[in-house]
Amino acid sequence: MAVGSCGSISIDMIKGFHIELTNICTLKCPGCARTQFIEQFPRNWTNHSIDIDVLLNFLDIDLDGIGITFCGVYGDPIYHPAFLKIVKQFKQRGAAIRIVTNGSYKTKKWWESLVNLLDSNDRIRFSVDGLPENFTTYRVNADWKTIEVGMNVAAQSQCYTTWAYIPFSYNENDIDTARELCNSIGINEFVITHSERFDQSTEHLIPTNIESQQYAIQQNWKLTQTVDSINPKCSTQEEHYISADGFYVPCCYLADYRFYYKTQFGKNKKQYNISGTTFSKLIADKHTANFYQTLNQQPGCQFNCGSNFG
C-alpha cells in the first residue's frame, strides 16, 4: 500500500488551523455528525463554546498570515456568544479569516459589525443547498430571510464571498437558477461541493448522477476496510483542528465521533487538552509525531483520505 504521510511537523510548516468555536447549531441536517450523535446518544450531548483566552494561549506561534478557518463539524461558528470578539482578536494577530456558515438567524446589524472587522484577505462561505423554497429539505430549520440579509451585507464588503451548494436529489436540477440568484445578490463565487457522506439517513438524498469519486472509494472501504493508498489532507498543514470543547486533533475528519475514539486523540483525550499545553509543545510530542508517521494504519484516514482503488 502506498502511503502519503506528513512525517514530522515543524512550526515553520504550519499554514493554518481549523477551529470549531462552538458545537451549537440551529439546524438539524440529517447527514451532520451533530444530528446523528444527538439522535443516538441524547443523554451524552453537551453544548460547548471554546474559551477564547485558553485558545489564544494555546496558539503560541506567530499568526501573521496564517489561515484561520471557523467551521463546524458539529456546530456553526457564528453561534459562539463572543464570535465578533474572537474575530477581532485573531485579526489583531494578523490572521486571515475564513468563515463557513449557513448564515441563519443573525441581524443586519450583526453582519455589518462582522464585515467591518474583515478585509480583502478574509472569506465568508455560505452553505446553502438549493433554492429558498427547497433548501431546508437538507438544511432543516434554516432561514432564507436572514441568510439573504447576511449575503447582501457580506457581498458589499471587502471580504471574498462564496455560495457553496451540495447537489442532492431534490435540488440537482436547480443549480443554474441558484447560480443566477447568487450573481444577482453579488456573491463573488458559486461553487458546487459534491458530498460523499451518504448513509441510511441520507441515501434518499443521493443525486441521480453522483460525481464524488470519494463516495465510491468510501463504499469500497466499508466492504473491504482497505484502500490502495491515502492522500492525507493534513499534509497541507492548513487543517490542524481544535474542537469546541478544547481538544486538538490533526484534522476535522478524525474529530467525527465515528472515528475519534478509535484514534490516540480520543483514547488519550486529556493529553490533547489545549488548556494544559501549547501548540508548539503538542506538535513536537513524540505521540503526535507517531500519528503522522502511521497515517496508513488509521481507519479514519483510510476512509476520509483514501485514494483510487483497483
Q: What percent of the chain has pLDDT over 90?
A: 65
pLDDT for the residue 217: 64
Q: Which of 18-22, 142-146, 264-268, 285-289 has the lowest mean pLDDT?
A: 285-289
CA distance 169 to 224: 28
pLDDT for the residue 102: 97
Q: Kindly tell me if the per-residue pLDDT of 67 is higher than 50.
A: yes
pLDDT 10s digits, 200-222:
888 899 988 776 556 666 666 56
Q: Kindly tell me if the per-residue pLDDT of 227 is higher than 90.
A: no
Pull the grid cell for residue 295. Answer: 497515517
First to last CA, the chain: 12
Q: Kindly tell me if the per-residue pLDDT of 1 is higher than 60.
A: no
pLDDT 10s digits, 170-194:
999 999 999 999 999 999 999 999 8
Q: Among residues 20, 7, 1, which one has the least CA distance to residue 260?
A: 20
CA distance 27 to 233: 27
Q: Which residue has the higher pLDDT, 226 or 205?
A: 205
Strands 16-19 and 248-249: what pairing? unpaired
Read off φ and ψ for residue 207, nearest 5 degrees: -70, 160
pLDDT for the residue 212: 58
pLDDT for the residue 201: 83
When the pLDDT of each residue in the chain is averaged and rounded to a whole number, the result is 89
Pick the CATH number of 14-218+235-280 from 3.20.20.70, 3.90.340.10, 3.40.190.10, 3.40.1450.10: 3.20.20.70
- Residue in the block written with cell 448522477: 209
pLDDT for the residue 149: 98
pLDDT for the residue 12: 79
Q: Which of 4-13, 22-31, 247-256 has the lowest mean pLDDT?
A: 4-13
CA distance 172 to 170: 6
CA distance 298 to 288: 13
Q: Kindly tell me if the per-residue pLDDT of 310 is higher than 50.
A: no
Q: Kindly tell me if the per-residue pLDDT of 7 is higher than 70.
A: no
pLDDT for the residue 155: 98
Rounded average pLDDT over 139-163: 98
User: Do 268 and 285 meet the contact criterion of CB atoms below 8 Å apart?
Assistant: no
CA distance 194 to 178: 16
Q: Which of 125-129, 142-146, 254-258 has the lowest mean pLDDT?
A: 254-258
User: Do 309 and 218 meet the contact criterion of CB atoms below 8 Å apart?
Assistant: no
| Residue 147 CB partners (closer than 8 Å, separation 6+) | 102, 103, 104, 126, 128
Pull the grid cell for residue 232. Answer: 492525507
Strands 248-249 and 240-242: what pairing? antiparallel
pLDDT 10s digits, 71-125:
999 999 999 999 999 999 999 999 999 999 999 999 999 999 999 999 999 999 9
